[in-house]
Structure 1
Amino acid sequence: MFSSMRRFTGAADKDAARHEQAERALRLLGEYERHSSGWFWETDRTGRLTYVSDKVAKVLDTPEAPAIGSMLTDLFVIDSDSPDTERTLGFHLSSRTSFSDYSVRPARDDQEECWWSISGRPQLDEMGRFRGFIGNGSDLTEKRKAEAEINRLALFDGLTGLANRQRMRLSLSQTLAESSAYRVTSLLLLDLDRFKAVNDTLGHQTGDALLKQVGQRLLRAVGERGLVGRLGGDEFEVILPSEGNRERLAQLSRAIINSLSQPYFIAGSSISIGCSVGIAIAPDDGNDAVTLTRSADLALYAAKSDGRGVHRFYDEKMLTGAQSRKRLEDDLRTALAQDQLHVAYQPVVATEDARIVGFEALVRWTHPARGAVSPAEFIPVAEECGLIESIGEWVLRTACKEAAQWPGDVRVAVNVSPIQFANPALPAIVTNALAQSGLAANRLELEITEGVFLNESDASDRMFASLKGIGVRLALDDFGTGYSSLGYLKKAPFDKIKIDQSFVRGAVVPGNRNAAIIKAIVMLAETLGMETTAEGLEVQDEIDLIRELGCSHVQGYVYGKPMDAGEAGQLLQAEGGAAKPSGFKVSRAQRVKMLRRAMLDVGDARGEVRILNMSTTGAMIDGIEFPGDVNGYEVKIELLDGQMFAAKLRWAKGGRAGLEFAEPFDMARLRPTSKILRKTG
């Protein structure tokens, strides 16, 4: 009896233990399902769901059809892009084969993005008969979102949201690969004008806000026609598949330039920038991404060289020009290394006593094969390739060393490029050049162009203060031709303003306004306690005018072309440094060649002559003989149909004569008439 009781008690204890174990398993399972990303599922023999964890059921259930009882294949959509997905769920269910880590999402379209990884295997009973599938799953949503974000960051610009350089490169390569020989693709490269000045003066935060607005405007301008991307900095790109019509591309480019050039309002400031566009069309301008991008880049370079704010199409000549610039760059590097450069000095003369008070140092290059290379050709190349600082420092040191050998207090002026000016080491370089040469600081004049004020900032003010602290003089070069306002003259400590030669030329010609402009600049400089130098004088009568207008100094071919340091020293020794003018004595207005019939009245007689050339102040005629000295003889000539104008004869020889008009004539009034001679035969 007691033995039977023990057996019964033992069996009960085992049942209780199994029950407790089962409950514990259910609790642990429930805990796992509620608080982890994992879940479980089960189907019957037909593939209908008989069990699924609650958190997944809530996603799959619909009012019309709960998840339990629905076909597994109706509840999930498999990720066809998954590289490890070789067969469908339906295949595995029908073939009763296991599957592992398939990426699926709910078949319902009204659900938020949700992804799972599921695995399953067939389930058999004790007799080996198929009962259905059993499996597990895990939540992939956050992982997929993270992967999508990584992909977005890899292919999209984080600031503007536009496609980034990598995506644009991939898209362009794919577009060109898919295009046949008869299908065109156009590429637009864009570069913002004056963006760096905004970034430097208003800060990167404002610059970033500006770039965002640029991206938005660019998207609106392009619309659905193409893919817009930002390559970095202030560079943007547009890919236009199946578009090669040059007129439509030109219209789009003008629309982009106009849109991006409208004022931007950021943090209470109105900001204006510009845009240049380069255009290349495949396959003519390149049938692969590298070649087409290079062509568009060359077109963009041409647009910026042509004054910015314009668009340019690629042309084969641009490649030739780029190759020529590259050769020039290589030769320039060699020239700097092999001392092929030299410094020439042009006299600066005081208008008061016509004595040489200084020289401007000008870099010159004699190429071993090409001969003399113009600074207008090699200086821009030096600025682009980063050689301008090395060349500028070499000129500075050479000029200080050679000027130290000149007598007295004669100064030397050296040009400083905006790139050099932006270098914080410039004051140290200047100080070292003065120390090594022994030249007094007040004998060195640094000429700075208005270009430095495009990046006007506290750093600019500190640079001016540092240079003045050394004791050198500062001159504002090419005044009136830059982009800045007069505001900087209030605080920039210049000792001299150099009036650009474009204002000097033609100043003595009657009716020209340049003289009034020069007078205004002189008065401004005198008010600010600055000297003035008029540049580019070539004719002697310009000297008298410049002196009358109040300029303190003049510079130009009229007092000598640039010379080497030895010749400059000899010129200073000769006659105590007095400067002697040379060349033409009287300026002449620009003459226009023509062949035009006109009536000429000489006293009571009238005859027909031919006008060979003409300017605002006079003309040369042909077809009449004048005996003896005719200088000052008054005549009338028909410059316009039926209209006679008073003039004086100044010379006559060999059937030709020179006339000086009594009053300046407006050349714009000339129109083609029937009296213009036509070539025959």
Structure 2
Amino acid sequence: MLQVLSDVFSADVTMLAHVAPPQMVVHHSCGLAEDDPAHGTGWSLPAEAAALLGRAGVATLGATGAEAMPAPLAALGTRFAVWIPLDLTADPGDVLVLCRSTGEEFTQLDLQVLASVTHRLRMALREREQSAVMARLAQSGHLLARHLDLSPLLDEAATLLRELTTADDAWVITVRDGRAVRQAHSGVDDTLEPGDWLPGWEEVCRGTPYTLLDGHRRLICVPVMRDGEPCALLYAARSLPRPMTGEAVEILAVFANYVAAAISNAELYRALGQSESSLRLITDSISDLVAMVGPDGRFAYASPSHGRELAREPDRLVGRRVTDFVHPDDRERLESALAGAASGDKVEYRLRTGSGHWTWVESALRPAPSAGGTVVLSSRVIDDRKRLEDELRLRATHDPLTGLANRTLVAQRLTEALADAEGAGHVGLLFCDLDRFKAVNDRLGHEAGDDLLKQVAARLRHSLRPGDLLGRFGGDEFVVVLDGVGDLADVAQVGRRVARALDDTFRLHDEPVRISASVGGVLGVRRRTTASAMLRDADAAMYAAKDRGLGLIEVFDDAASSRSLDRLGLRSDLLGALEGDQFAVHYQPICDLGSGQVVAFEALLRWTHPQRGPVPPDVFIPLAEETGAIVPIGHWVLEQSCRELARWGAMGAKRIRVNVNLSPVQLQQPHLARELLDIVQRSGVDPGDVCLEVTEHSYLREDVTESAAVLRTAGLHFALDDFGTSYSSLNYLKWFPIDLLKVDQSFVGGVAASDTDRGIVRAVLAIADSLRLGVVAEGVETEEQRAALLALGCPLGQGNLLSPPLTPDAAAELLAGDRHSLAAS
């Protein structure tokens, strides 16, 4: 993935590094020499450089302050750099860094795009690390079993322990009667005596795992139990701020079983060397399941441990076929291993215990010397390891909240279905996105949102056919893989059934909630279509469904393909529109409905594409929000509006207010208040002449309301746009510092003829009057609408009847007129 990032961003060096002053150590890299000291001892890291790398940023060589180049990167010959922490809760921690020695500098947009892939990178690295740990854990038992002498066994165990936990130091200490007997160490600090340092020594010796955070170190200790008593203690210590997860204790618990078996074997084999006459006693006492199987596949000998571990009397096993006790699905595997047994071969299979349960065992096979085909099996029970493997495998392929397949498993199953040339029919895919889920999540809280996602998952699961795979793709997105469908009509039929599954009301915290889903469907042909193409096309179809309304389904066909390509083209062109000077701000007057007096302007963004011409705002604004480009674009609109306000004031025009729209995406930015105030203050205009318009679909998080309070205290005003179109309207009036309500044009359009619309407008005016808020009617298009609004007592309005949006010069000319008003016929 680092290579892909290097290619996409034209970076000379891309690296995943761990920042821990006074060092910066590179774990993975692309473009950095393999023998660079950064891979081993690391680069020297001053505190100021660590502070810069502790938060996302861009840098240019020679810059100062927040954009200064960190010293290690400058020493590398870097001119431009961008970085982002992979886990913002660790300070400092792992950081993704991209460097260029030539070319263009990185931008904030590059940083935003990079932020969108860090979650996937974290997941990929975590899955790779978990797989490596499990592989090493599986191998560790055999590595330990090689040693029949206790001293090299303990050294091997300490080395493996340090590798499995990625600790700085690891110790294996044998104990007897609560006292340390022998010690083996692996790591960098052999001066530390963990037994003296650990306050919980007595607790661990009683068999309880222990963790400790002390000063600059974190330590985990797990006892190695044998016959209910600790025979050794496993320690793993790591310097802060690199944390140890709870999984380390689980891994050590499995590893401790291997160490216990190896210590027992080493001690027993040592006793065997002291006296061959005690061979039977040792074999009877060994913890492994030792058996001899003849060439006919029957037990010739079974150690007494079969009675302890499997509840099978050894004498009753002799003469019976081994496969009589093996799970039917595993018999062929064991028979094949016995037939071709070579020294050191290993095989895993399930055995039925005397109580009737299946238990997993792992057997090492060795041909018995001069025994005519007899094989010696040394086996151990591995149920704990299997459970841990299953749990880690489930975590890697399933969503922890809903239990559904995650993005990784969906892509894998979809790829397998498309590659199955013998499968019946075609492969279908549905992409479902919940409509207005964020509004529900915002109003009722994240706990209720999680509960809703689980209820949705349960309903969708029951709406599908047997064999269909349902997965959660992330957030409020669900995906269904349909194997064996005939045509697009079949895909659409299942899609409609999925959408109908959400028709009934949900209940969250004893409150009724209704929600729908926009569904996109696509049909794939085996051996011809790729999984990535199907996911892309189903996503495009879903957006087409969402554009037509809520709770609808759209299938991907030639027309949808054309729309998808057009959308991708616009999305790409939009990223360069601001630098290409393709945007303009027009100003629509807000007028007194009776006199026509202009009281304010609303700033409206317009995009003129160099080839396509004017692009409607309802087309490019959602694209800007998806890409994050709306943040710099929105700041630019405010800057242009303030500049025009200042110009009009310099011309001697009367004082007037400008309304500027804020996107929900802008409202989520952490430094919103500071950035907007900086723009207003630089322009020199009075903050009271700026009104920020927000929609009811913005997220009412605590930090959003705090930013709004800071802006309101500085003098800026707030208007609630499209009032009445969402059930969260009154919630906004409670928590947001609103000064002005804008009645949505869907109600204004029918105010002259519809009693319902007239009643809604009257209710809005009553709410505004009781709360002492201003009111503006949007979309006033006819004289009948203006007359009806005046009769209801609505003072202000905007729309094409009064004036279309004006260019800056036209707006200035209007303000320079004698009346500053538009004709009120």
TM-score category by the smaller chain?
A: 0.7 to 0.9
SS state at 1:337 partner: coil
SS state at 1:260 partner: coil
Q: Is the CA contact 2:538–2:556 (under 8 Å) kept in the aligned structure 1?
A: yes
Q: 1:476 aligns with which of 720, 723, 726?
A: 720
SS state at 1:439 partner: coil
Identify the residue that residue 633 of structure 2 maps to in structure 1.
Answer: 391
Q: Is the CA contact 1:164–1:231 (under 8 Å) kept in the aligned structure 2?
A: yes
Q: Which moved more, 1:55-64 or 1:133-142?
A: 55-64
Cα distance between partner residues in 2 of 1:186 and 1:564: 49
1:553-572 superposed Cα distances (whole Å, 9 cap, x missing partner): 22223333222223222222
Q: Which moved more, 1:70-79 or 1:467-476?
A: 70-79
1:25-69 superposed Cα distances (whole Å, 9 cap, x missing partner): 5544444x2xx3x23223568654342112325666779992022
Q: Is the CA contact 2:306–2:312 (under 8 Å) kept in the aligned structure 1?
A: no
Is structure 2 residue 722 aligned with structure 1 residue 492? Answer: no
Q: 1:55 aligns with which of 305, 308, 316?
A: 305
SS state at 1:570 partner: helix
Superposition deviation, residue 74 in structure 1? 4.0
Superposition deviation, residue 398 in structure 1? 0.6
SS state at 1:451 partner: coil
SS state at 2:728 partner: coil
Cα distance between partner residues in 1 of 2:479 and 2:325: 44
Cα distance between partner residues in 2 of 1:212 and 1:113: 33
Superposition deviation, residue 79 in structure 1? 7.6
Q: What pairs with 1:560-579 in structure 2 (closer than 5 Å)?
A: 560-579=803-822
Q: 1:67 aligns with which of 290, 293, 317?
A: 317
Q: 1:448 aligns with which of 679, 694, 706?
A: 694
1:173-214 superposed Cα distances (whole Å, 9 cap, x missing partner): 121111359721211222223333344444444433433333
Residues 427 and 502 (structure 1), Cα distance of their counterparts in 2 relative to 1, 3 Å cut: same
Superposition deviation, residue 350 in structure 1? 2.2
Identify the residue that residue 41 of structure 1 maps to in structure 2.
Answer: 291
Cα distance between partner residues in 2 of 1:508 and 1:219: 47
Is structure 2 residue 530 aligned with structure 1 residue 288? Answer: yes
Cα distance between partner residues in 1 of 2:685 and 2:273: 105
Cα distance between partner residues in 1 of 2:527 and 2:657: 53
Superposition deviation, residue 470 in structure 1? 1.4
Q: Is the CA contact 2:352–2:358 (under 8 Å) kept in the aligned structure 1?
A: no
Cα distance between partner residues in 1 of 2:378 and 2:751: 93
Is structure 2 residue 426 aligned with structure 1 residue 190? Answer: no
Identify the residue that residue 549 of structure 1 maps to in structure 2.
Answer: 792
Q: What pairs with 1:412-451 in structure 2 (closer than 5 Å)?
A: 412-451=658-697
Cα distance between partner residues in 2 of 1:332 and 1:171: 35
Q: Is the CA contact 1:286–1:295 (under 8 Å) kept in the aligned structure 2?
A: no
Superposition deviation, residue 114 in structure 1? 2.4
1:121-148 superposed Cα distances (whole Å, 9 cap, x missing partner): 2343xxxx85955453333333333333
Cα distance between partner residues in 2 of 1:379 and 1:409: 30
Superposition deviation, residue 108 in structure 1? 7.2
Q: Is the CA contact 1:122–1:133 (under 8 Å) kept in the aligned structure 2?
A: yes
Superposition deviation, residue 219 in structure 1? 2.2
Q: Is the CA contact 1:82–1:103 (under 8 Å) kept in the aligned structure 2?
A: no
Residues 211 and 112 (structure 1), Cα distance of their counterparts in 2 relative to 1, 3 Å cut: farther
Residues 82 and 264 (structure 1), Cα distance of their counterparts in 2 relative to 1, 3 Å cut: farther
Is structure 2 residue 399 aligned with structure 1 residue 150? Answer: no
Identify the residue that residue 275 of structure 2 maps to in structure 1.
Answer: 21
1:72-102 superposed Cα distances (whole Å, 9 cap, x missing partner): 454456986999x79352566xxxx867323
Q: What pairs with 1:49-448 in structure 2 (closer than 5 Å)?
A: 49-57=299-307, 66-76=316-326, 87-90=336-339, 100-106=345-351, 110-124=356-370, 130=372, 132-179=374-421, 183-244=425-486, 246=488, 248-266=490-508, 268-283=510-525, 287-351=529-593, 353-406=595-648, 407-448=653-694
1:463-520 superposed Cα distances (whole Å, 9 cap, x missing partner): 33222111112222222333434343345332222223333335445x6654444333
Residues 324 and 154 (structure 1), Cα distance of their counterparts in 2 relative to 1, 3 Å cut: same
Residues 324 and 99 (structure 1), Cα distance of their counterparts in 2 relative to 1, 3 Å cut: closer
Cα distance between partner residues in 2 of 1:131 and 1:82: 18
Superposition deviation, residue 119 in structure 1? 1.5
Cα distance between partner residues in 2 of 1:448 and 1:405: 26
Residues 464 and 236 (structure 1), Cα distance of their counterparts in 2 relative to 1, 3 Å cut: same
* Identity fraction in percent: 34
Identify the residue that residue 651 of structure 1 maps to in structure 2.
Answer: none
Cα distance between partner residues in 2 of 1:64 and 1:356: 100
Cα distance between partner residues in 2 of 1:470 and 1:82: 78
SS state at 1:442 partner: helix
Residues 117 and 141 (structure 1), Cα distance of their counterparts in 2 relative to 1, 3 Å cut: farther
SS state at 2:485 partner: coil
Cα distance between partner residues in 2 of 1:383 and 1:449: 14
Q: Which runs of 5+ in 1 are unaligned?
A: 1-16, 586-681
Partner AA of 1:242 in structure 2: G
Residues 186 and 59 (structure 1), Cα distance of their counterparts in 2 relative to 1, 3 Å cut: same
SS state at 2:399 partner: coil
Superposition deviation, residue 117 in structure 1? 0.7
SS state at 1:347 partner: strand
Superposition deviation, residue 578 in structure 1? 3.3
Cα distance between partner residues in 2 of 1:271 and 1:392: 33
Higher relative contact order (CA 8 A, sep 6+): 1
Q: Which moved more, 1:273-282 or 1:200-209?
A: 200-209
Partner AA of 2:360 in structure 1: C
Residues 315 and 121 (structure 1), Cα distance of their counterparts in 2 relative to 1, 3 Å cut: same
Partner AA of 1:101 in structure 2: K
Q: Which moved more, 1:340-349 or 1:363-372?
A: 363-372
SS state at 1:559 partner: coil
Cα distance between partner residues in 2 of 1:352 and 1:121: 104
Partner AA of 1:53 in structure 2: S
Give the aligned CA root-mean-square deviation in angstroms: 3.5
Partner AA of 1:195 in structure 2: F
Residues 370 and 68 (structure 1), Cα distance of their counterparts in 2 relative to 1, 3 Å cut: closer
Q: Is the CA contact 2:353–2:359 (under 8 Å) kept in the aligned structure 1?
A: no
Cα distance between partner residues in 1 of 2:272 and 2:713: 95
Residues 556 and 48 (structure 1), Cα distance of their counterparts in 2 relative to 1, 3 Å cut: closer
Cα distance between partner residues in 1 of 2:361 and 2:737: 68
Partner AA of 1:408 in structure 2: K
Partner AA of 2:801 in structure 1: V
Residues 24 and 501 (structure 1), Cα distance of their counterparts in 2 relative to 1, 3 Å cut: same
Superposition deviation, residue 336 in structure 1? 0.6
Superposition deviation, residue 112 in structure 1? 2.1
Corresponding pairs, count: 550
Partner AA of 2:545 in structure 1: A
State TM-score, norm by structure 1: 0.72
Cα distance between partner residues in 1 of 2:488 and 2:463: 17
Identify the residue that residue 616 of structure 1 maps to in structure 2.
Answer: none
Superposition deviation, residue 245 in structure 1? 5.1
Partner AA of 1:214 in structure 2: V
Superposition deviation, residue 399 in structure 1? 0.4
Cα distance between partner residues in 1 of 2:801 and 2:272: 117
Cα distance between partner residues in 1 of 2:322 and 2:575: 73
Partner AA of 1:393 in structure 2: H
Q: Which has the larger radius of gyration?
A: 1
